[in-house]
Chain A
Amino acid sequence: MPAQISVYDPTAPFRSDGLQERILPRTLVGKTVGFIDNTKPNFDNIADDMAMLLKERYGVKDIVRHRKLLASVPAPEAAIADVVDKCDLVITGSGD
C-alpha cells in the first residue's frame, strides 16, 4: 500500500445548533398568508394571482404584502416583524 498522509478538509459544515423544525398549518382556512416580494419581475403578479386564489378557493382570511427595497438586500426588519406578528404562513421570493 502506498504511503499515506493526512490532510485537512477545508470546508465548514452547516450549523447544527438550534435547528428549526418545519411548522406548517394543516389548512389555510381562516388563516393569514404573507408575501415578501423580492422585487424581481412577475413576483408582484404571481402574488396578486395567488392572493386572489387563496381567498377564493382556499378560504384564506387575510393577505399581508411587503416588498424588499432591492433583491440583493434583506427584507426590512419592520416587514419581518409584521409578518411574524400577523401571518400563519409567509411566501418569499427568490431568484428570477
Chain B
Amino acid sequence: MTLCSTAFKSLGNSQAKALKYPDLPLLIAPHPFGALKRDKVLATAEQCLADLMKLLSGETAGTASVAQADTGPALVSVEDDVDAVNRLYRDKQWTDGLPIVPPTPERVNKMLTGTTRKREEVVALVAPGFGAATVERIAINAVMAGCDPACMPVLIAAIDAVSSPEFNLQGIQATTNPVAVWLLVNGPVVQELEMNYGPNCLGQGNWANATLGRALHLVLLNVGRALPGEMDRATHGQPGKYLFCCAENEADNPWEPLNAERGLAGQSTVTVIGAEGTTNMNTHSKVADDMLRVVAETMKRPAGNDYRTGGEPWIIFSPEHAEVLKSAGLSKAEVKKRLWEASKMPARMFTRRDYEHSVLARKPILGDIGPDTLLPVCNTPGMLGIIVAGGPGTHSVYVSSFGNTRSVTRPVALMVT
C-alpha cells in the first residue's frame, strides 16, 4: 500500500490502476507533509495506522474497479461542425487546450499512409498510465496536432525512445518539476520534412517542428494519461509541454552532429531529452576561454536538479559561438571537458536540505561529499550534451535537465519511396 499526501491522492489512485492494482489502498497524510515539525509527525502516524486497521478489518473494503478492455480506439459521433468537435475534445479533456484537427477515420487512414507499420502494432506502453501507444493511436494524435503523414516515422521513433527505461518517462510525466520532452531531429529527414534548424528554431513558424512537437505531447497526455493536476503533478509546468522540437543545424556545425556522436552518422535520428526550460546565453566574446568561462558560470544552479542528482544538461551553441570555439582549436569533446571542469559547484551552495539530499543521491558515483566538495553538473564530461542550432546571432542556449533522466536516440525508419 502507499502512503501519500493529500495533494497526491489522485496520482496514487490512478497509478494503482495503471499498474494493475485498482484496489490498492492509500494512507493519506496532510499536504505538505514534509513541512510538519518532527513532534507533529506522531499524530499523523497514529491516524494512518488507525486507517490501516480499518482497511484490514474490512470496514472500508474497496470495490474492485472494472478496467476497460483495450479493444482499440473508439469512434464517437459528433455534429459535423468544428466548434462542436472542439467542444467535445475540450469537455473530455482530450486536448492540450488548443483546438484540434478532427481525427476522422478518413484523416487517420491518410496519416497511416506515412508508415509501413501495422495500425494495431503496439509501439510502446506510455507511462504513467501505461496505455498502449499503437500505431493507430499515434496517428490519431498526429492528426489532431496537424501533422503531415510524412511525420509518422519520426513520431513513432520518438514514442519508442521515450519508453526506454533510462529516459524515466514515469518520473518526467508525474513529477512536480517543470519538465517537457524536447524532440531533437538529425539527418536527411530534417530536409524531407522541411524542419527548422536555423533562425528561431525553438520558436514559432515552422509546420513540422510545431506539429511534431505537439503530437508527441498529445500522445504523452492522451495515451500516457498524464492529465494535469491528476497524474501530471507539475507545480507550474512550462510552455515546452505544448511542444518543444527542433532540428540540429548540421550545415553550420563545425563539429560532428549528434547522430554521428551516437554512432548513427548520416542517418535520420530522433533524440528525446527530459528538459527544463531554456536560458539565453548572450555573449559577444570572440575569445574561446572567456566564452567558456561565462557559459560555465551560467550552468551553476544550486536550485536545479542536475547538481543535486547528477543530470544530463544540454547546450545549444549558435553557429557563431561554435565557430569561435572551433577556431580556437577545440573539439566538441574538449569543450565538454572544459565546461564540465569549470562548472563544478561547491556543495555548500545548496540549501541545507538539498545538500543532505545530494550527499545521499550522488554518493554512489562521487563518494563522500562535504560542503567544499566541487560537484560536477553531470557524472562524466561526455554526458554534457552539445549541439549546434539556430541562426545568426551571439546567443547560445542552456537547457538544464530533469536530472533523473538520460536522453535516448533512435534511428528513424523512413518510408522507401
A interface residues with partner B (beta carbon < 8 Å): 2-22, 24-28, 39-43, 45-46, 49-50, 53-54, 57-58, 69-70, 72-74, 89-96
Contact = CB atoms under 8 A, between A and B. Distances in A.
Nearest to B170: A74
Interface stretch (B3-11, B197-205, B281-289, B334-342): B3-11
Interface in B33-54: 33-36, 38, 41-42, 44-46, 48-49, 53
Given A41-B34, A72-B168, A95-B5, A53 B45 contact: yes
B10 to A, nearest CB: 10
A27 B2 CA distance: 18
Contacts of A15: 18, 20, 67, 70, 125, 130-132
B354 to A, nearest CB: 11
A9 to B, nearest CB: 5
Contact of A22 (B57, B62, B69): B62
B25 interface: yes
B168 A93 contact: no
Nearest to A67: B360
B73 interface: yes
A34 to B, nearest CB: 11
Given A2-B79, A7-B104, A91-B3, A53 B131 contact: no
Contacts of A5: 77-80, 85, 102, 104
Looking at chain A's contact residues, is the secondary structure mostly helix, strand, loop, or mixed? loop
A70 B80 contact: no
Given A9-B73, A20-B20, A91 B360 contact: no
Interface stretch (B136-144, B315-323, B382-390): B136-144
Nearest to B79: A2
Nearest to A45: B41
B68 A22 contact: no
Contacts of B126: 12
B98 interface: no
A42 B34 contact: yes
Would you list the 10 A-B pairs with minimal beta carbon distance, nearest first? A12-B131, A95-B8, A41-B34, A72-B171, A16-B67, A49-B45, A94-B4, A22-B23, A13-B68, A3-B80
